Structure 1
Amino acid sequence: MLRLLNIENIAVVHRQRVAFDAGLTIVTGETGAGKSLVVDALALAVGGRATADIIRAGESRAVVEALFDCPAHPAVARILSEADIEAGDELLIRREVAASGKGRLFINDQLCSVATVRALRPYLVDIHGQGDQQTLMFPSAHAGVLDAFGQHVALSDATATAFSAWQTARRDLDQLKRDEASRLQRLDMLNFQRADIERVAPQAGEDEDLRRERMRLSNAERLLALAAGSYDLLYEREASALDLVAQALRRVEDLAADDPALADTVATLEAARYGIEEAAFALRDYADALVVSPERLREVEARLDALDQLKRKYGGTLAQVLATFDQIQHELANIENYDADVRRLTAAVEAAAQAYQRSALALRSARQAAARRFEAALEQELHALALPQARLVVAFDERHVDAPETWEASGLEAVEFLFTSNPGEPPRPLSKVASGGELARMMLGVKSILAPTDIPRTMVFDEVDVGISGRVAEAVGVRLRRLAERQQVLCITHQAQVARFATTHLRVEKSIVDGRTRAEITLLDARERVEELARIIGGAVVTDSARRAARDLLASEGAVGAPTT
């Protein structure tokens, strides 16, 4: 419920602080006084469009603050949690609009986004102006009204979700089939690439091994000569390195026998002798293994050429070639599963279609059951709103359940309200025959018969009584008061017959202060209400007869706040 509204520098409002109570709050004032600024400011606070031209001339910014009781609803708690805003008993929304066009928005003094406030709006306020009445002119909105009345909005949402799932599955299948030609082209190319690599059959690290072998084959004669010569110097010839070290070792051993200090030198020479011997045998084995083979060299060169060609085609290294081969194998497996994918997606389309049909048929039954009750309830309201001959018919243009080309997210039928207020005339599309006054009363009637919401929102009606007067306005006032018994209602009106039902009455009037126009919002007491109703009844000049008429209105059955004298 709305508790407080602070308005600063919006249009002709300088600074205003307006408190609200439960029940029916009526706002009146002369034409052009700025009555709708209350609604505009509230709409701005809950995420309405903000532009710099709303700022009072000469000011740098406009500010509106709205204080609400915080609704105890899981969705509200989730929205606040996602915005890192701590939930409490109250929600204070503050919106600032700068002359530069930039603005800021706060909830409980914490900066937040407009999207967060707009997500909260359905749980805080329900604003209806003349534009909202015009939505009844669009048949596409009628199904939503019927669903709200029948309390099967969840079923309607489920049907829309099922329709979306069916469309997605169908698009996936169509895309797969459209890709058939490119799939076959891709399959041919991948098979060629796989065969190209398999023909060479590269092994990991093979090119490095081959390059080393090529080096040995290319230099085999020189390597053999070097290895054999080295072996000869170390081991084979007379006075070889091994012989010389052995001779030195025997002499040092003789020295060490007399002088133990040379024991380490003996050990060093023994190690050198063994090392020379091992090196000589290694060189001998290396020389024995060397092959001088032009034929093998040609084979190695050809193999390296084949591997280099693969690397140029499929990657700069042999490791990348092998990785490409694995990728080709994987993609081929996927492409070759085309038939299985078609079967899988076809089954998914069928399952999604059946789910949509079940949900849409259940929605059709729910709508048909609700339609007759809706017709009777709304006709009763319209009769009470001075349309005694009004007749409403909920028409269904049903689509065939087995004709998918006709399916819609809204269900298997188009819903349209047919209306007549003239005896003997058949009901025709509401958009073609209803007047502005009839639309206003129909909107109020719809709001009166909809199931009470589990969220105590503030309902706002901006001139819902446009185009009506007299006993029709009286009936509108009765309906507004009835709504106000269930939740807080704020209504802007020009009708004394509506204003008399207020539990709280606000008047908006313009004045000139320091040469500038200001709109002032005043809470009226009982005597001031008489004067305001008399002004509405009598016009610019308030007469005693107008005051008597105002007192009679306030004193009549059903009025609230009648004066005691």
Structure 2
Amino acid sequence: MLLELSIRNFAIIEKQTISLNQGLTVLTGETGAGKSIIIDAIQLLAGGRGSAEFIRHGEEKAEIEGFFQLTDSSHPAILKAREFGIDSEDNAIIIQRAMYITGKSICRINGKMVTISTLREIGRKLIDIHGQHEHQELMDPDFHLPLLDEYGGPEISEALAEYKHHYKQYLETSQSLKKLSENEQTMAHRLDLIQFQYNEIKNAELEPDEEDRLLEERQKLSNFEKVHQSLSNAYGSLNNENTGLDWIGNAMTELERIENLDEEYQQLSDTVKNAFYLLEDAKSSVRSQLDMLEYEPERLHDIEARLNEINHLKRKYGKTIDKILEYGAAIEEEIDTILNRESHIEKLMKQLDAVKKEVLLAGDELTDIRKKYALSLTEAIHQELKELYMDKAVFDVRFIETNDASDELIRQDGLDKVEFYISANPGEPLKPLSKTASGGELSRIMLALKNIFSKHQGITSIIFDEVDTGVSGRVAQAIAEKIYRVSSGSQVLCISHLPQVAAMADIHLFISKEINEGRTKTSVKPLEKAERVEEIGRMISGKELTSLTEEHVREMLEQAEHIKAVIV
């Protein structure tokens, strides 16, 4: 769960540290006080899109830091972090994000700098934010199939992976056939091009390690004068009279006279002898190098020409000789395919027919599993809606039949098109969710789905941003209880204007803003029991707290404690 959130110079928040805990945390306050700004900050920790506009006016950067304490080392976020080489000591993850006025954004996880995409992959395992945009997603049928797949868990996931394996083969074969079936004029142009390229590579007669050898030889020839001078000087120093070897030979002779007198003299004598004979060998080697040394300006010219030819081919066909040869082999195979086009087309058509049968079979198996879970999901949602006073509603996960040919049915995510249908009122026909549900109904359906899916996701922190829009009365109470039920398995942060939700909070944070020296800033204050009574009373009446309202609030809080005890 998210234990601590630190925000600095973010929008109208100057500096704020918020301590959180397990269970349900509710954020309340006047409109515009900064409740959603806190959610925006958390969203950035999950890899949301940043902007210099978030930075407090007059500051150079905004900083956000979140400390997450996870249950064990097998938590999905820790496993995902490990994939990116990020260690998690004591099962903790610390995310830091800084945004600069220049537009630069820096992200760190446990001190290691990461990209936004990496942050997003790990963040989505930690934080799940639901707000009005999720209502929009719920209205979009394209999101319904992924929701069903998520509900199906490992069984659907395994079947989908098997389907995608066959789909990849089908797609590759289909694309190869399409490419080979292009019109003859296009194919002839392609053949001319790659035939020219193949001949150019073949005629070059490249060898894998040729460039390294040429560069080494060029190095020697380019430095001929320097090499010759140094070898000559070295040979002279070793071979001429009264030079290196003569003096070492004298030393060896002198030490031989006394080597039998003492063990240390013997060791010294042996050392000098070894050095003498080694230098003798070195002298011979230097002489051999001098004898072999021959300046060949024509050879240097040939090497330069050959290296230029290799560089020309590298610019066209690959960064190394190996890459050029690989490309040559690939186009040689393509040339053979084009020259024997008809037989290859026939072969690919048979291959496509076989892989198509496989992908359709895997797709049918996936559909059967999806339909099984669709029935289970429908029953679960009916139960959830019943608890949210939509007991007359009829929900259906509908598999949309199409008249598409089988080739058009084959898609990356399977053969199915799924859409959620609902009838909110008795006697009304089932219609697509996107065309029938009101704002309040969408809030309840989304919350029903969240309560179901939270049991499957293992998300650390779930955030509801005003998901109770458009409801009141007993429905509001039912939503409050449903949100608390979600919090029994995950940490939940909830922005709400409903007193029923605020009354169910384990932690109640009051968000307010004040003007100090001409600047507006947001503050966050945990409310004690008496302060909660006052704040919930304000949410009910919008005015000063009367004794009647206070009594009503205290009754709400007592009732909430009783309900929470039953839920737990």
Give TM-score scaled by structure 1 length.
Answer: 0.70
Using a 3 Å threshold, how does the CA distance of structure 1 residues 506 and 452 change in structure 2: closer, same or farther? Answer: same
**Mapped contact 1:399–1:412 kept (Cα < 8 A):** no
**Superposition pairs of residues 468-479 of structure 1, within 5 angstroms:** 468-479=471-482
**Mapped contact 1:553–1:559 kept (Cα < 8 A):** no
1:232 aligns to what? none
Question: Shift of residue 359 of structure 1?
Answer: 2.2
Cα RMSD between the aligned structures?
3.1
Counterparts of 2:477 and 2:521, CA distance in 1: 32
1:241 aligns to what? none
Other structure's SS at 2:124 match: helix
2:282 aligns to what? none
Other structure's SS at 2:42 match: helix
1:144 aligns to what? 146
**Higher mean C-alpha deviation, range 67-76 or range 92-101:** 67-76
**Mapped contact 1:399–1:413 kept (Cα < 8 A):** no
Using a 3 Å threshold, how does the CA distance of structure 1 residues 409 and 65 change in structure 2: closer, same or farther? Answer: same
**Mapped contact 2:503–2:560 kept (Cα < 8 A):** no
- Paired residue for 1:178, among 175, 182, 202? 182
Other structure's SS at 1:178 match: coil
Using a 3 Å threshold, how does the CA distance of structure 1 residues 353 and 73 change in structure 2: closer, same or farther? Answer: farther
Counterparts of 1:189 and 1:132, CA distance in 2: 52
Mark the structure with the bigger radius of gyration: 1
Letter matched to residue 135 of structure 2: Q
**Higher mean C-alpha deviation, range 70-79 or range 368-377:** 70-79
Question: Shift of residue 500 of structure 1?
Answer: 1.2
Using a 3 Å threshold, how does the CA distance of structure 1 residues 348 and 400 change in structure 2: closer, same or farther? Answer: farther
Using a 3 Å threshold, how does the CA distance of structure 1 residues 115 and 496 change in structure 2: closer, same or farther? Answer: same
Using a 3 Å threshold, how does the CA distance of structure 1 residues 330 and 109 change in structure 2: closer, same or farther? Answer: closer
Tell me if 1:30 matches 2:34.
Answer: no
> Deviation digits for residues 318-344 of structure 1, max 9, x if unmatched?
xxxxx9xx9999876554454553344
Counterparts of 1:487 and 1:4, CA distance in 2: 16
Question: Shift of residue 473 of structure 1?
Answer: 1.1
Using a 3 Å threshold, how does the CA distance of structure 1 residues 352 and 20 change in structure 2: closer, same or farther? Answer: farther
**Mapped contact 1:500–1:560 kept (Cα < 8 A):** no
Unaligned segments of structure 1, at least 5 residues: 195-314, 316-322
Counterparts of 1:50 and 1:5, CA distance in 2: 17
Tell me if 1:97 matches 2:99.
Answer: yes
1:443 aligns to what? 446
Give TM-score scaled by structure 2 length.
Answer: 0.70
Other structure's SS at 2:417 match: strand
1:85 aligns to what? 86
1:116 aligns to what? 118
- Paired residue for 2:504, among 501, 506, 517? 501
Other structure's SS at 1:556 match: helix
Question: Shift of residue 512 of structure 1?
Answer: 1.9
1:131 aligns to what? 133
> Deviation digits for residues 329-363 of structure 1, max 9, x if unmatched?
98765544545533443344234322321221112
Letter matched to residue 100 of structure 1: T
**Higher mean C-alpha deviation, range 536-545 or range 500-509:** 536-545
Question: Shift of residue 183 of structure 1?
Answer: 4.8
- Paired residue for 2:491, among 483, 488, 491? 488
2:62 aligns to what? 62
**Mapped contact 1:535–1:542 kept (Cα < 8 A):** yes
**Mapped contact 2:2–2:69 kept (Cα < 8 A):** yes
**Mapped contact 2:496–2:502 kept (Cα < 8 A):** yes
Using a 3 Å threshold, how does the CA distance of structure 1 residues 82 and 369 change in structure 2: closer, same or farther? Answer: closer
Other structure's SS at 1:426 match: coil
Letter matched to residue 4 of structure 1: E
> Deviation digits for residues 253-285 of structure 1, max 9, x if unmatched?
xxxxxxxxxxxxxxxxxxxxxxxxxxxxxxxxx
Counterparts of 1:351 and 1:129, CA distance in 2: 46
Question: Shift of residue 69 of structure 1?
Answer: 2.0
Counterparts of 2:53 and 2:193, CA distance in 1: 63
1:407 aligns to what? 410
**Higher mean C-alpha deviation, range 49-58 or range 326-335:** 326-335
* Equivalent residue pairs, number: 433
**Higher mean C-alpha deviation, range 326-335 or range 385-394:** 326-335
**Mapped contact 2:180–2:338 kept (Cα < 8 A):** no
1:52 aligns to what? 52
1:166 aligns to what? 170
Using a 3 Å threshold, how does the CA distance of structure 1 residues 160 and 547 change in structure 2: closer, same or farther? Answer: farther
Unaligned segments of structure 2, at least 5 residues: 199-312, 314-324
1:426 aligns to what? 429
- Paired residue for 2:389, among 386, 396, 402? 386
**Superposition pairs of residues 119-518 of structure 1, within 5 angstroms:** 119-151=121-153, 152-160=156-164, 162-178=166-182, 180-181=184-185, 183=187, 333=336, 335-339=338-342, 341-399=344-402, 403-450=406-453, 452-453=455-456, 455-518=458-521
Tell me if 1:43 matches 2:65.
Answer: no
Counterparts of 1:80 and 1:528, CA distance in 2: 41
Using a 3 Å threshold, how does the CA distance of structure 1 residues 180 and 61 change in structure 2: closer, same or farther? Answer: same
Question: Shift of residue 545 of structure 1?
Answer: 1.7
**Mapped contact 1:134–1:439 kept (Cα < 8 A):** no
Question: Shift of residue 408 of structure 1?
Answer: 2.6
Counterparts of 1:84 and 1:332, CA distance in 2: 44
Other structure's SS at 1:48 match: coil
**Mapped contact 1:477–1:501 kept (Cα < 8 A):** yes
Other structure's SS at 1:490 match: strand
**Mapped contact 1:5–1:64 kept (Cα < 8 A):** yes
Counterparts of 1:337 and 1:93, CA distance in 2: 58
Question: Shift of residue 551 of structure 1?
Answer: 0.5
Using a 3 Å threshold, how does the CA distance of structure 1 residues 459 and 329 change in structure 2: closer, same or farther? Answer: closer
Other structure's SS at 1:450 match: helix
Question: Shift of residue 380 of structure 1?
Answer: 1.9
Tell me if 1:18 matches 2:22.
Answer: no
Using a 3 Å threshold, how does the CA distance of structure 1 residues 172 and 189 change in structure 2: closer, same or farther? Answer: closer
Letter matched to residue 511 of structure 2: V
Counterparts of 2:110 and 2:24, CA distance in 1: 27
Letter matched to residue 516 of structure 1: R
**Mapped contact 1:502–1:560 kept (Cα < 8 A):** no
**Mapped contact 1:22–1:487 kept (Cα < 8 A):** yes
Using a 3 Å threshold, how does the CA distance of structure 1 residues 190 and 78 change in structure 2: closer, same or farther? Answer: closer
**Mapped contact 1:27–1:508 kept (Cα < 8 A):** yes
Counterparts of 1:83 and 1:180, CA distance in 2: 48
Counterparts of 2:78 and 2:26, CA distance in 1: 31
Question: Shift of residue 167 of structure 1?
Answer: 2.2
Counterparts of 2:332 and 2:436, CA distance in 1: 69
Counterparts of 2:378 and 2:195, CA distance in 1: 68
Other structure's SS at 1:131 match: helix
1:4 aligns to what? 4
Question: Shift of residue 123 of structure 1?
Answer: 1.1
**Higher mean C-alpha deviation, range 65-74 or range 420-429:** 65-74
1:222 aligns to what? none
Using a 3 Å threshold, how does the CA distance of structure 1 residues 517 and 561 change in structure 2: closer, same or farther? Answer: farther
Using a 3 Å threshold, how does the CA distance of structure 1 residues 55 and 358 change in structure 2: closer, same or farther? Answer: same
**Higher mean C-alpha deviation, range 462-471 or range 522-531:** 522-531
Letter matched to residue 126 of structure 2: L
Question: Shift of residue 159 of structure 1?
Answer: 3.4
Counterparts of 1:68 and 1:352, CA distance in 2: 46
**Mapped contact 1:4–1:68 kept (Cα < 8 A):** yes
Letter matched to residue 492 of structure 1: I
Counterparts of 1:329 and 1:147, CA distance in 2: 44
